[in-house]
């Protein structure tokens, strides 16, 4: 068990080189509803969490890239995916400059939320129980991602 402070420090180090220079995508609520499935809309626009074990991406291990389901911005490479046994697609690293993060303040062991830097869609949370070399786990909603085989 690592304290929230330690988590914050490790995540901060991992994201230290973060430099957001992504052009923003801003749509109206009606446009988002038309663009997304109801599940994608609930996760990306209203930060809902899909039920564990429901995403077909849990079993996706081909080589490729995981992009934001809202705007196609690449977020994860297949090399970083691993089976965290949580029921959610998990990655030990991310394309940092394509994510924004914010600290959640409601929980004692406060997780860090990450969002798409282009469309500001909610994707998941970063935990500190991932494998090396980062020790991080990007816990993703599969509904927020689309897999593109390479």
Residue numbers annotated as active site: 139
- Given candidates 71, 75, 136, 143, which one binds Zn ion under the rule CB under 5 A? 71
As measured in angstroms, the least distance from the Cβ of 148 to Zn ion is 14
Q: By rule CB under 5 A, what count of residues binds Zn ion? A: 8
Cα–Cα distance, 139 to 128 (Å, whole number): 10
As measured in angstroms, the least distance from the Cβ of 38 to Zn ion is 17
Give the x-and-dash track for 30-69 against Zn ion (CB under 5 A). --------------------------------------x-
124 binds Zn ion (CB under 5 A): no
116 binds Zn ion (CB under 5 A): yes
Handedness of CA 82, 83, 84, 86 (dihedral sign): positive
**Closer CB to Zn ion, 14 or 119, in the complex:** 119
**Closer CB to Zn ion, 10 or 118, in the complex:** 118
- Given candidates 70, 89, 130, 142, which one binds Zn ion under the rule CB under 5 A? 70
- Given candidates 7, 11, 112, 119, which one binds Zn ion under the rule CB under 5 A? 119
Distance set, CA 70 to CA 5, 24, 81 (Å): 32, 12, 20
Cα–Cα distance, 15 to 137 (Å, whole number): 13
Query: By CB neighbour count within 10 A (0-12 exposed, 13-18 middle, 19+ buried), where does 100 fall?
Result: middle
Distance of CA 50 to the CA centre of its chain: 13
117 binds Zn ion (CB under 5 A): no
Residues that bind Zn ion (CB under 5 A): 68, 70-71, 73, 116, 118-119, 121
């Amino acid at each position: 068990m690592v304290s929230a402070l330690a988590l914050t420090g490790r995540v901060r180090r991992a994201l230290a080189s973060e430099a957001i220079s992504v052009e923003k995508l801003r749509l109206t609520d009606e446009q988002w509803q038309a663009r997304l499935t109801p599940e994608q809309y609930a996760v990306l626009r209203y930060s809902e969490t899909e039920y564990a074990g429901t995403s077909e991406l849990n079993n996706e291990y081909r080589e490729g890239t995981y992009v934001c389901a809202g705007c196609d911005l690449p977020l994860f490479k297949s090399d970083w995916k691993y089976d965290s046994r949580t029921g959610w697609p998990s990655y030990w690293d991310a394309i940092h400059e394509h994510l924004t993060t914010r600290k959640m303040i409601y929980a004692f062991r406060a997780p860090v939320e990450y969002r798409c830097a282009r469309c500001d869609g909610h994707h998941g949370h970063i935990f500190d129980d991932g494998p090396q070399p980062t020790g991080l786990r990007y816990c993703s909603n599969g509904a927020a991602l689309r897999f593109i085989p390479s």
